[in-house]
Amino acid sequence: MIVVMKPGASQQQIDHVIERIEQLGLRSHVIVGTERTVIAALGEKRDGAKQALETGDGVEKVVPILAPYKMASTEVKKEPTRIDVLGLAVGQEHIGVIAGPCSVESREQIMEIAGIVKESGASALRGGAFKPRTSPYSFQGMKEKGLQLLAEARDKTGLAVVTEVMAPEHVPLVARYADVLQVGARNMQNYPLLEAVGESELPVLLKRGPSATMDEFLLAAEYILKTGNTHVMLCERGIRTFEDHTRFTLPLATVPYLHQTTHLPVVVDPSHGTGKASLVAPMAVAAVAAGADGIIVEVHPDPEKALSDGFQALTPTAFRHMMADCRKVATALGKKM
């Protein structure tokens, strides 16, 4: 339920409603708006709770939240959420660009690509140190050494570091080096991991599971939001379909759909979404046109030699062209990129 306070309700009245919500065995989440405060009362439905709260001083009305995801829903918060971390701004009129290799491979590789993507206008550096690979025989990432190199690249360029964390017990380690924790597609429904990244209080980039529905995706985000961490970005990275001309199918209608249903910003990953370098830039441009708040894209100094996902990595030159094209669309839409 949402308790909508009257405009000008006093702090004492707000505190009283919070106390009543908690006495009813529900959790409260306060959202202070420009005109009025609303308080979400979250938990299992209780008979009589609506009536009990409606009689509170300063309460205008109590309305049920219809969406199964409560805190992610636009029913609770209409203004779009913006994530700001170092120079990365994602949401509202800002389009953030997160670029870098699939995996951190060496100091030379990450330093070189960090400088290149920074110079081309990216606002964050991506790179996996813990890699979720389909085969246990494939390169698994440089682990802590990779994190140290990412932090060194941040120190040198000022770019925020976005990197994946695969297990709840790795969260403290990854959080020491990262600015944004990425939860990979394969882990979208790893609920202990979602709670652990929530508790880290760092911004989270949550990737959509390749077979997850929108409700499942938003309920996964809800696990993070429920910890009190509201810095969540949703990332569409493609789903599994019968198509075999692309690695996954990248459904861009997700972007406007999510903007209708949630206040959380939406990032698109055209690299994993297509799995083909030649398709990445056009889909990045299309994502911006569809209203994406961010793009995450794989760029490698020498894609042929990449230890993972080289086939979908942009060269530095292709990335520069992608940026120029995306910027034209962003400018036409009145956005900053």
Q: Which residue, 21 or 234, has its beta carbon nearer to ligand PEP?
A: 234
b/e 276-310 (16+ beta carbons within 10 angstroms → b): ebebbbebbbbbbebbbbbbbbbbbbebeebbbbb
Q: What is the C-alpha to C-alpha distance for residues 27 and 242, in angstroms, rounded to an integer?
A: 43
- Supply 111's token pair: 């330093």
Q: Is 71 exposed, middle or buried (0-12, 13-18, 19+ CB in 10 A)?
A: buried
| CA 146 to centroid of chain Cα atoms | 22
Closest CA to 120 of 89, 90, 99: 99
Q: Which residue, 34 or 134, has its beta carbon nearer to ligand PEP?
A: 134
Whole-number minimum distance, CB 56 to Mn ion, in Å? 51
Instruction: HSE, CB side, 13 Å, CA atoms: give it for residue 25.
Output: 7
Q: Which residue is listed with tokens 């979720």?
A: 132
Q: Which residue, 235 or 329, has its beta carbon nearer to ligand PEP?
A: 235
Closest CA to 160 of 89, 212, 225: 89
Q: Which residue, 182 or 200, has its beta carbon nearer to Mn ion?
A: 182
Whole-number minimum distance, CB 22 to ligand PEP, in Å? 37
Q: Does 102 bind Mn ion (CB under 5 A)?
A: yes
- Name the one range near Mn ion by CB under 5 A: 9-17, 117-125, 207-215, 303-311: 303-311
- Supply 195's token pair: 């709670």
Whole-number minimum distance, CB 322 to ligand PEP, in Å? 17
Whole-number minimum distance, CB 101 to ligand PEP, in Å? 9
Whole-number minimum distance, CB 207 to ligand PEP, in Å? 4
Whole-number minimum distance, CB 315 to ligand PEP, in Å? 18
Q: Which residue, 102 or 174, has its beta carbon nearer to Mn ion?
A: 102
Q: Which residue, 6 or 186, has its beta carbon nearer to ligand PEP?
A: 186
Could you tell me which residues come within 8 angstroms of residue 267 by beta carbon, excluding any fewer than 6 positions away? 90, 96, 98, 205, 233, 234, 235, 236, 292, 293, 294, 295, 296
Q: Which residue, 184 or 203, has its beta carbon nearer to ligand PEP?
A: 184
226 binds, among ligand PEP, Mn ion, none (CB under 5 to 8 A by kind): none
Indicate if the alpha-carbon torsion angle 28, 218, 220, 148 is positive or negative: negative
Q: Which residue, 58 or 146, has its beta carbon nearer to ligand PEP?
A: 146
User: Residue from 309, 313, 322, 327 that binds Mn ion (CB under 5 A)?
Assistant: 309
Whole-number minimum distance, CB 271 to Mn ion, in Å? 6
Give the nearest residue (CB) to ligand PEP.
184
- In sequence order, the β-bridge partners of residue 233 are 205
Whole-number minimum distance, CB 234 to Mn ion, in Å? 18
207 binds, among ligand PEP, Mn ion, none (CB under 5 to 8 A by kind): ligand PEP
127 binds, among ligand PEP, Mn ion, none (CB under 5 to 8 A by kind): none
Q: Does 76 bind Mn ion (CB under 5 A)?
A: no
- Supply 69's token pair: 């995801």
Q: Does 164 bind Mn ion (CB under 5 A)?
A: no
Q: Is 245 exposed, middle or buried (0-12, 13-18, 19+ CB in 10 A)?
A: exposed
Binding residues for ligand PEP (CB under 6 A): 102, 128, 132, 164, 184-186, 207, 237, 269, 272
**Interface with Mn ion by CB under 5 A: which residues?**
102, 309
